[in-house]
Chain A
Amino acid sequence: MITSPAPSQTAAARQWFLGRGDLDALVEAIRATGRRVIGPTIREGAIVYDEIQAAADLPAGWRDEQSAGRYRLERRNDERVFGYTVGPTTWKRFTFPPNLTIATSHRTSFGFEQHIDPPPSVAFVGVRACEIAALGIQDRVFLGSQFTDEDFRARRAAAFIVAVQCTTCSSTCFCTSMGTGPEVRGGYDIMLTEIEDGFVMAAGSPDGAAIVAKLPTRKPTHAEAGSAVDKVEAVRTQMGEPLPMAGIGERLKLQLDHPRWGQVADRCVECGNCTMSCPTCFCTSVVEKSDLDGKNSSTERQWDSCFDVAFAKVAGGDFRARPRDRYRQWLTHKFSSWWDQFGSSGCVGCGRCIAWCPVRIDVREELAAIAPPIPPVVHPVAVEPVAASPGTYSLARLASIRSETEDTTTLSLTDLDPAFLAGRPGQFVMIALPAFPAVPISISRFRADHIDLTIRAVGPTSTALDNLHPGAKVGLRGPLGTFWPIEEAYGRHAVVVAGGVGLSPLHGLVDALVANRDRFESVSLFYGSRTPEDQLFREDLAAWSSSKAIDVAVTVDRAGPEWKGRVGVVTTLFDMISWDCSKVTAFVVGPERMMQSSVQGLISKGVPADRICVSMERHMECGIGLCGHCQMAGRFVCKDGPVFRLDELGDMFNREGI
């Protein structure tokens, strides 16, 4: 229900008192609006969030005992309803379900139709300050850019929030360090603070005020209002001095080679508990399920974890193969690169990752060891939900299909949304077929009313695309990502270096360089492939070679005696460079190791790093940075890339496991 946090003054301006025995009236009043009520319950020895029918379902008279790797429930000596902190579940389970059918598709004679179910109306009872902050953080992740998660938006909009200010804390809590609690600053419909005999209440929205108006409340006494404030303040005191978090993002960036990463990885069992119990982690994997005939399919999203050994396995291989790399990714993402991506920390200080770590890794200790403390300065951050814009698939028709090599084809698509034709070389699209997961594909060529996508058949989707016939309909989203900064090469020697299918995202660039030839001192293409048979766009290569607009040099890694051309890796072609390399602007795409060698070769020739552009297209996954798989050095390749200038990546380009 809440779209922006209410200021704390508003909450304090009008307060009510609700007796503990009348709490059920609150649950009933909410249920009367047709909402399912979700709240804390006890299951298998832990406080978990689940549907409740009445206030009696809430765990009155219980407290929790938490420390690193330990969680126990114990009886209280009173009947407080919210006398514990957070358990293993999080509210994202309901706004961002762990398993979700995000779309079902039915193939029609015209293409395919998609259907998305509307979410249920719910109320969350017992949402803590740190958890409201976490919901706000996920608002930024899912709704804060041009690419949005509409299911999340609907679930968030359908949720009525009953916040509870913490009047107790665990040894694992550190919300004061993250500036998220213990006081609730906004983002609620109703706020409760539990005192001796009941609750001091405030309304944070018109819907909340309407519910409060139906309850048997009275104005709180000065003592009751004061008690509520004191209890929350006591929690702040109980948590002790905040952790020294100032500058933690930059400090972590300076410690990427700290030996502690390896030491903590030796302890870590990579169970993923920390990510599954984290209220802000958002990485997912998407699987496509279909009937055997492919007419009906569903797209299902599941939570994923960056600790999973296969999480960073992308088209270019597993770029985070070591446990230390995966732990470093998680910690630096939470406390450093999250700021770069979303303008906030990715941690709210709830402490779940500490309590539920089976080997008792305490993130606070790791931060102190890896990025040593600096004088404590805490900057409370109100994480505000932000507006969003939708992203959808549109249909395109396959006009023709052309075989490039044994396993690579070029699809020429037409009947497009005009936006695709206005794309720039280097950008990509997400292409979808019913029953197959959507995949990112670079646009290899822009024509008057077509775009070309060159696809190597390596997985189920690309194989299915490879088998399409002209006239088939496909779903497209895009054009996405950054593009080649061709203007930066004006007046300079433009050098294009391609390896294998890496020529595909460069084809459009070469077209643009040739079309604007007068703007460049010279234009050269160096292209290496595995064998002569693996060369893409052979007709275009021949046409370019015969033109005077561009110098083309090709080489292959191996060949039979019938091949009379060059044999050797693509870097051997750099011997042909005779220009002042300080005036070269280079564009490089290929397998990672080939790009590294090429970049080293260009730099050794004197090409400035800020004049070398690379495309990390093989890291792309969902296309819009929401699934998290494409993260590399704190950047979402899908959203911040795939084209980067080398100086933007810095030493991350060659660093293992980033």
Chain B
Amino acid sequence: MHARAMDDYSAVIAMLNHTWFGAELSPETQERLARLGELQDFEADEVILHEGDDAREMGILISGRLALRTLVPERGPVTILSVEPGDIFGWSAVLADTQAQSTVVATQPSKALVIEGIRLRAALKDDHALAASLYPRVLKAVARRLRATRLQLLDLFAR
């Protein structure tokens, strides 16, 4: 992982504008997010979060691809979902005292805006405008994931 200095927030805001998660946020909220987070680069195969660890960070993927994996006895790690640019990972960090639901691995060189959970929760508590903008998007991301997981559970292509 390689963190970059955040002295030019406009570049981060420009990147957010290319994601479905951040594109329609107000300029003020975009800047708040940019200031809260840290732009990080991940190498291919780099593990970002471990399943079961405390959920300390939430990220908005700017580029690249991440895999959400879970360990299945006798089958090893199974990728259950890939995260594409624009989507979030580590959403559990929005809640206090939660654990990561899956292991997050970069499957190719990736860039993300990573926000520490403690700072994010404190900001959401203090800044109602930020909370009103962010919570629906987090909920949308979780709902999309839930819907996709349901379809996967149906095992549509089963013989």
Contacts and interface: CB of A to CB of B under 8 A. Distances in A.
A215 to B, nearest CB: 66
Contacts of A407: 159
Given A566-B65, A569-B148, A593-B151, A557 B77 contact: no
Contacts of B44: 564
B151 A571 contact: yes
Nearest to B67: A567
B20 A575 contact: yes
A649 interface: no
Nearest to B108: A564
A213 interface: no
A594 B150 CA distance: 12
A564 B86 CA distance: 18
Nearest to B44: A564
Nearest to A592: B156
B78 A557 contact: no
B132 interface: no
Interface residues of A, number: 29
A55 to B, nearest CB: 61
B158 interface: yes
Interface in A557-586: 557-561, 563-569, 571-572, 575
B5 interface: no
B108 to A, nearest CB: 6
A561 B78 CA distance: 6
B83 to A, nearest CB: 9
A564 B155 contact: no
| B-side interface size class | 20 to 34
Interface in A397-441: 407
Given A534-B157, A590-B156, A591-B156, A571 B148 contact: yes
A558 B78 contact: yes
A162 to B, nearest CB: 55
B17 interface: no
Most chain B beta-carbon neighbours within 10 Å: one of A500, A557, A575:
A557
A374 interface: no
Contacts, number: 79
A568 B81 contact: yes
A143 to B, nearest CB: 39
Interface in B14-40: 20
B81 A567 contact: yes
A529 interface: yes
A554 to B, nearest CB: 11
Contacts of A594: 151, 156-157
B101 interface: no
B107 interface: yes
A565 B81 CA distance: 10
Interface string A534-573: 1000000000000000000001011111011111110110
A596 to B, nearest CB: 10
B76 interface: yes
A529 B155 CA distance: 10
B79 A559 contact: yes
Contacts of A563: 79
Contacts of B76: 560-561
B148 A560 contact: no
A558 B69 CA distance: 10
Contacts of B87: 575
B154 A560 contact: no
B80 A567 contact: yes
A566 B157 contact: no
Most chain B C-beta atoms within 10 Å of own C-beta, residue among A530, A561, A568, A597: A568
A642 interface: no
A567 B156 contact: no
A499 B156 contact: yes
Contacts of B152: 557-558, 568-569
A359 interface: no
Contacts of A597: 151
A652 interface: no
Interface in B139-158: 144, 148, 151-152, 154-158
A558 B70 CA distance: 11
Given A559-B79, A561-B76, A566 B84 contact: yes
B82 interface: yes
Contacts of A500: 156-157
A310 interface: no
B35 to A, nearest CB: 27
A458 interface: yes
10 contacts: A500-B156, A530-B155, A534-B157, A561-B79, A564-B108, A568-B148, A571-B151, A575-B86, A590-B157, A593-B151
Nearest 3 Cβ contacts at the A-B interface: A530-B157, A500-B157, A567-B82
Given A458-B159, A558-B152, A569-B148, 15 more contacts: A407-B159, A500-B157, A530-B157, A557-B152, A559-B79, A561-B77, A563-B79, A564-B65, A564-B108, A565-B107, A566-B82, A567-B67, A590-B156, A590-B157, A593-B154
